[in-house]
Amino acid sequence: MSESAMPGSPVTGGPVAGPAPAGPAPAGPAPARPEPATARVRAGLPGRYLLWLGGTQAGLLGDAALHFALGWAASAHGGGAAGLVLTAITLPRTALVLLGGAVADRFGARRVMLAGDAVMLVGTLALAAVASGPGTPLHLLVAAAAVIGTVDAFYLPASGSMPRRLVGTRQLPRALALRQAGGQVAALLGAPLGGALVAVGGLAGAALADAVSFGLVLLVLLRVRPPAEREAARSADSPGLLREAAAGVRLALADPLLRAALLLTGAAAGALLPVVSLLVPLLARTHGWGAGAAGLVVGGQGAGVLLVAGLVSWRGALRRAGAGAAAGLCTASAGIAVLAWAPGVEPAVAGGVVVGVGSGLFACHLGPLVLGGAPEGHLSRVQALLTLVQSAALVLSTGLLGVLADAAGAGWPTALCALATGAAGLAALASAALRRA
């Protein structure tokens, strides 16, 4: 299933202990914080995690190719139709993700993932069969997008919690960094693969390829089982799923570290993510660089993320994860500032690399803090809240930055993103909960 590029992506183990009671979390020992790995902690990651990750990355690649194919098919109906298809993915995912987290915590993340992959296997096969006929009607694209967004709402929180269910807390930073690197590779290769599949077999070919990837993920999940997985305890007096979702929100907001990490994630999502997706193309058009130059800048950003994620997965994270996340935002701020005032393509590409390095530092350090700090019975709900915070901040900021770019040019909103990202990094350093983490 599709994953975001932010932490725990951003990002995420232990057994599902059954439904958590509605209301404040019960008193007891504080949840375990991740213990970042150092260069001396080099034990290999568990084979079950590597097997799951391999299957997941194959699924991500298939998803990326299908998303490109859907967008391409929708563009034939006009810009409004393309926007409608994207909205049909985003809207149900955002509206249902907290419920999806509660479902995964109650019934088990692995079960939710098995059900989601089975639904998508059937759905992509059906899409391939229908799309093989003449023409691709808009209602078919909207229906396929709505199914993807709905399944994502339940799948993403479950998938995000799996790293902690499969590895120990000491290995969590390396495990998440390796996942981040794999996701970045899938993002870089997905669009070209989707283009090739569409050229050969149209939307039907891309859907069939994605169906194969879902079949592969299903086979992997049938073999991989978290070591302490057990039946979720359900009783007649269990609180409803909506109350469980609300309990997860209350728990996260009551925990100083989780609360600070969620606020920081929202600030980073709103100020950092629109730079590549929205402002880089606008800057390229403003300066007359062309689409190829914009692609180089985006590729530089991806290379920076991949470099840091690969290094952390090999050597381990910094000892102070909160400081590492703050340093990442400050680094990204410097790169965005270079993009805002770059006189030519070469400085802009260099700025893109710096943005990627900062983004990678942030994701690879904040993700383990959030996932390691969540109680075992709330892993998926915390991941769902993280997804919601990112999505809401991104939707809000993208619209505002687009309006500002129309009014004042692309340089000023890019500079504003640099200031906001740097301010978020400094705020992280000022937060005692994050600074000491």
Q: Kindly report the pTM of this predicted structure.
A: 0.76
Contact at 8 Å (CB) between 1 and 156?
yes
Coil, strand or helix: which one is 237?
Answer: coil
What average pLDDT does range 299-313 have in this prediction?
90
DSSP state of 171: G
Sign of CA dihedral 221, 376, 322, 95: positive
Contact at 8 Å (CB) between 306 and 184?
yes
pLDDT attached to residue 238? 60
Residue 18 has pLDDT above 50, yes or no: no
Q: Which residue has the higher pLDDT, 437 or 48?
A: 48
Contact at 8 Å (CB) between 36 and 368?
yes
Least reliable range by pLDDT among 17-31, 73-87, 175-189, 297-311: 17-31
Residue 71 — pLDDT band, cuts 50, 70, 90? confident
From first CA to last CA, the distance across the chain in angstroms is: 31
What is the gyration radius of the CA atoms in the chain, in angstroms? 21
Residue 183 — pLDDT band, cuts 50, 70, 90? confident
pLDDT attached to residue 9? 41
The string of pLDDT tens digits covering residues 213-262 is 999 999 999 999 887 654 444 444 466 888 888 888 888 888 888 899 99
What is the distance, to the nearest Å, from the Cα of residue 167 to the centroid of all Cα atoms in its chain?
Answer: 19
pLDDT attached to residue 228? 60
pLDDT attached to residue 319? 84
Mean pLDDT, rounded, of the chain? 83
Least reliable range by pLDDT among 154-158, 346-350, 377-381: 377-381
The whole-angstrom separation of Cα 243 and Cα 21 is 8
DSSP state of 61: H
Least reliable range by pLDDT among 116-120, 217-221, 400-404: 400-404
pLDDT attached to residue 377? 83
Q: Which of 10, 44, 35 is nearest to 319 (CA)?
A: 35
Q: Which residue has the higher pLDDT, 38 or 100?
A: 100
DSSP state of 76: T
What average pLDDT does range 102-117 have in this prediction?
93
Structure tokens at 124: 């992509």
Residue 38 — pLDDT band, cuts 50, 70, 90? very low
Residue 418 — pLDDT band, cuts 50, 70, 90? very high
Phi, psi dihedrals of residue 255, rounded to the nearest 5°: -85, 120
Coil, strand or helix: which one is 6?
Answer: coil
Residue 36 has pLDDT above 80, yes or no: no
The whole-angstrom separation of Cα 405 and Cα 414 is 9
What average pLDDT does range 85-93 have in this prediction?
85
Residue 23 has pLDDT above 70, yes or no: no
pLDDT attached to residue 29? 37
Least reliable range by pLDDT among 18-27, 94-103, 214-223: 18-27
Alpha helix (H) residue ranges in 79-235: 79-107, 109-131, 138-166, 172-223
What average pLDDT does range 27-52 have in this prediction?
58
The whole-angstrom separation of Cα 333 and Cα 290 is 24
The whole-angstrom separation of Cα 174 and Cα 84 is 38
pLDDT attached to residue 3? 44
Residue whose tokens read 């070469």: 346
Residue 364 has pLDDT above 80, yes or no: yes
Q: What is Dmax (Cα atoms) for the chain? A: 66
pLDDT attached to residue 214? 94
Please report, rounded to a whole number, the percentage of residues in the chain having pLDDT higher than 90.
39
pLDDT attached to residue 155? 95
